[in-house]
Amino acid sequence: MSTPNRTLQSDILIIGFGKGGKTAAATLGRSGKRVVLVEQSERMYGGTCPNVGCVPTKGLVHRSQRRRPEDPAQDWYARSVQEVQQTREMMRRGNFDNLSSIETVTVITGRASFADPHTVTVVTGDEHLTVTADTILINTGSEPVVPDVPGLATSRYIRSSTDLIETATLPERLAIVGGGYLGIEFAAIYRRFGSQVTLFERTARILGREDDDVAAVATHILVDEGIHLVTAAQVTEVRDGDNGATIGYDKDGEQHTLEVDAILAAAGRAPATRDLNLAAAGVRTTAAGAVEVDEHLRTSQPHIFALGDVRGGPQFTYLSLDDSRVVLDQLTGEGLRSTADRIVPRTLFMTPPLATVGMTEREARKAGHRVKIAREAVAEIVAMPRAYAVEETRGVMKFVIDAATDRILGAAILSIDAQEIINTVALAMRHGVTAAELRDAVYTHPSSTEAFNEVLATIVRADEP
């Protein structure tokens, strides 16, 4: 029996239901364009963030912080997983309904691959579809990378971040291979839930991009929480047993072993392009497998664009959103918006969170700037009573300032509300607001932003690069 085949013609084809894709689909659909959006899994309507990324993980961050020592770890964790999954399902349905309610938008669940530059074949559960479009947007996101460690990929105890947040059983002993943002965030979450957490990092310290003083404060907080950090360590093998896995690792030239119940592979994520057959479309990719784009997000085919993680670079949902603005401006606007000179804040949701933007002190000096440094420990900031009100005085605030212009070159905020504070700093940087102006602005009280009044008045030093 042959597989049914039908053809759909559209103005816009979008592959992937991520933040950038769904935003573009809604905007173009409401303008009357015929839009077809293809998503390979009904569990991923809305993309990574609401389903397996930002929303459920931050929900677990919140619930792990609320757990008291006397609360049973397993029960508290199981209930927390159930609650965040309920939120995920609500958002998933909302994302689908938001698009399917637009008359000119068609959502198809299936796997898409290019047949030629204007044609995509979609395999659904019971048929093959051929979709043609004048313009195509690729928004397929990224997928986890498993380190090349003997026995790791085939271990019965390996878990992806998605596996962990969807499993109601709290691992008693959790190993995390990789000390990047994902690894550190999950280490903080699961330690607070009650797991014994060991985090392996192959470099000399975690947070290698950050200045030594900021990284030292963050490391102290994580260790004080009870997380076992094993740095300058090379995981060499994983051996399965009946009740867990044995991790072999090399540190300081000596071999060690660790028994665990679960292993999170947190070695980063790679652009999800393997099954798209981009060669058939004439779309070039980078050596890392990302779709190659210009500053307007056009690929090597002028009518094909790439948005979000699949195009390489920082993997943040808010960048995917801004990517949609760039593409929409190309399709329906003046074509002036681009990705050039973006100032992008980022947040690591440990407890308290670490948020950064712009250059570190090290990067600024290397770039030739003469810098001023404003730095103060949160516990010493008198003008930040909110930290004492919520009983979270750990952390540090650091600003890197150009000595000649008083412009802020970068900042690292490790404190309560850091994920919100950093947005104000980023806005100031985008619009050329000086450190003095930010220092002397009027802020509500008690708030975390009012710490600017004090910290930016504390110039540690000004010297040559």
**Catalytic machinery residues:** 445
Task: Encode 89-125 in three state secondary structure.
Answer: HHHHHHHHHHHHCCCCEEEEECEEEEEECCEEEEECC
Report phi then psi at 118, rounded to 5: -120, 5
Encoding tokens for residue 190? 């699961």
Residue 39 marked in a binding site: no
CB 175 within 8 A of CB 263: yes
Residue 366 marked in a binding site: no
Residue 250 marked in a binding site: no
Residue 289 marked in a binding site: no
**Nearest residue to 450 via CA among 406, 427, 417:** 417
Residue 184 marked in a binding site: yes
DSSP for 223-259 reads HHTT-EEE-SEEEEEEEE-SS-EEEEEEETTEEEEEE
Residue 185 marked in a binding site: yes
* Helix 181-193 and helix 73-100, axial crossing angle in degrees, nearest 10: 130
Residue 268 marked in a binding site: yes
Residue 181 marked in a binding site: yes
Residue 178 marked in a binding site: yes
ω before 352 within 30° of 0 (cis)?
yes
**Nearest residue to 183 via CA among 140, 230, 142, 237:** 230
Residue 372 marked in a binding site: no
- The rounded distance, in Å, linking the Cα atoms of 144 and 464 is 42
Residue 180 marked in a binding site: yes
Q: Is 441 exposed, middle or buried (0-12, 13-18, 19+ CB in 10 A)?
A: middle
Report the residue count for the chain. Answer: 465
Residue 343 marked in a binding site: no
What angle (nearest 5°) sits at the alpha carbon of residue 176, between those of residues 171 and 179? 150
Sign of the alpha-carbon torsion through 261, 267, 268, 274: negative
- The rounded distance, in Å, linking the Cα atoms of 270 and 310 is 8
Per the annotation, binding residues for NAD(+) are 178-185, 201, 268
Per the annotation, binding residues for FAD are 58, 140-142, 309
Per the annotation, binding residues are 58, 140-142, 178-185, 201, 268, 309
